[in-house]
Amino acid sequence: MGTVALGTSGTTAADVIAVARGNARIELSDEALTALAASREIVDALAAKPEPVYGVSTGFGALASRHIGPDLRAQLQRNIVRSHAAGMGPRVEREVVRALMFLRLKTVCSGHTGVRPEVARTMADVLNAGITPVVHEYGSLGCSGDLAPLSHCALTLMGEGDAEGPDGELKPAGELLAAHGITPVELREKEGLALLNGTDGMLGMLIMALADLENLYKSVDITAALTLEALLGTEKVLAPELHAIRPHPGQAASAANMLAVLSGSGLTGHHQDDAPRVQDAYSVRCAPQVAGAGRDTMAHARLVAERELAAAVDNPVVLPDGRVESNGNFHGAPVAYVLDFLAIAAADLGSIAERRTDRLLDKNRSHGLPPFLADDAGVDSGLMIAQYTQAALVSEMKRLAVPASADSIPSSAMQEDHVSMGWSAARKLRTAVDNLTRIVAIELYAATRAVELREGLTPAPATRAVIEAVRKAGVEGPGPDRFLAPDLAAADAFVRAGALVAAVEPVTGALA
């Protein structure tokens, strides 16, 4: 399970994944506790002054003009959490909530929020106990951060609302805290606001999407190579000197991966045999260009994620010189844009993979393969409807590629008059990544069957390793029609778990 130590800085994407998906335990460093105490002293000093300070002794948003006296400030902080916990719709996934909470704790530990050390300890205790607040699909506009989702998490810290225990059972949060010996927090000046004001949900989903897409982009290089092989295509278009004269790094990496998978193949280079053709179709020949552009998009998104991980997003923030200043750093535009960029790239990758699959199934374009890769075409339909499923997934991917960040809707009586919709961009990207996994799985299913139908020709060693591994995973090979959904589900699980890449790399070496 492992442990992640939180300091004032230095949190990595691997730390987020370890906590969100691996249930790693969190420890607060002495450095973080010292920074927390120091920033709290600044907030306490400002709270004692008669002058109003936003977030400390005022209302919030469009209500910031009201000065709040000391006797009402604890109620003010409780109220902002309760009123902002206004999400609706289905619950979001456990890993998303854990990433959300961990990233808010990361910012709290930066020493820029003015939150007391005991609040940070409670946040860590809740995560370490495996308690997951109920967070809903709708509520965040991605400006002033992910307000509603973070509010539901803060509500759990107060012992209110519902949460899921480590056993998966839904219970009142107060009961779960008590069962694990955790005392609910009593929020003081600025603390309620500090727990709500961050881009943590959209950032957590971006980090996890990047991890999933890294596996998928390697996987699609493999399936594209298998399809090229099954179609008796030429690997000459993958030569590094061709890609060097158009120096996009992602393109070169994808071409190198495909070339490594095809090394030693007895199927490639037969495009001049029975039905000569000068060039392979774009979906085969341009595979590195499309996948490579997506890889370069990921590289940009990773840079944005790293910058956001290094940020302390709150409003107001406590500065080292003792000032507490309002700012607009909670606006989710930088993260929202790359979430949308990734959805666009994923849709195009799914689209080109579907075109390759369709080519494998069409007897007029598959260069000698049986129609729909069927055992007895006419009696058997083969993989006809698997391609329909793939096409339906691609169609949805195109809808999901419509940018959420191009939209904005005013809120808070026009105080928050331009928002990022970054949470929405993140939610649709999660669906897009799920769909892309299924699309790649269907190409894998079709390509492995097609290779096996090329009797008398020897596939590449890497291809043979893939076929052996996927068959052991319960994905059946060629034969008469059967109930297809379980095969496709097994192929999906195989790709999703990274088993496709793991099957290849012992033969090819590590893929780029």
Give yes or no for a cis peptide into 316 (omega within 30° of 0). Answer: yes
Which of 211, 213, 222, 90 is closest to 149 using CA atoms?
90
The rounded distance, in Å, linking the Cα atoms of 509 and 308 is 33
Q: What is the largest CA-CA distance in the chain?
A: 90
Which of 217, 231, 428 is closest to 339 using CA atoms?
428
Q: Is the CB of residue 4 less than 8 Å from the CB of residue 305? A: no
**Burial per residue of 247-262, b for 16 or more beta-carbon CB atoms within 10 angstroms, e otherwise:** eeebbbbbbbbbbbbb
| Residues known to be catalytic | 54
Give me the count of residues in the chain.
512
Residues with Cβ within 8 Å of 94's Cβ and at least 6 positions away in sequence, in order, are 132, 164
Question: Rounded to 5 degrees, what angle do the CA atoms 163, 164, 167 make?
Answer: 155
Is residue 52 classed as helix, strand or coil in its secondary structure?
Answer: coil
- Phi, psi dihedrals of residue 230, rounded to the nearest 5°: -65, -30
Is residue 383 classed as helix, strand or coil in its secondary structure?
Answer: coil
How far CA 303 is from CA of 13, 142, 198, 260, 338, in Å, comes to 11, 20, 19, 28, 10
Sign (positive/negative) of CA torsion 135, 413, 406, 397? Answer: positive
Q: How is residue 95 written in tokens?
A: 């890993």
The rounded distance, in Å, linking the Cα atoms of 5 and 27 is 5
Radius of gyration of the chain (CA): 26
The rounded distance, in Å, linking the Cα atoms of 53 and 55 is 6
- Residue corresponding to tokens 């090819």: 508
Which of 120, 133, 131, 52 is closest to 92 using CA atoms?
133
Q: Is the CB of residue 173 less than 8 Å from the CB of residue 155? A: yes
Residues linked to residue 172 through DSSP beta bridges, in sequence order: 162
Q: How is residue 301 written in tokens?
A: 């998104």
Q: Is the CB of residue 143 less than 8 Å from the CB of residue 419? A: yes
The rounded distance, in Å, linking the Cα atoms of 163 and 166 is 10
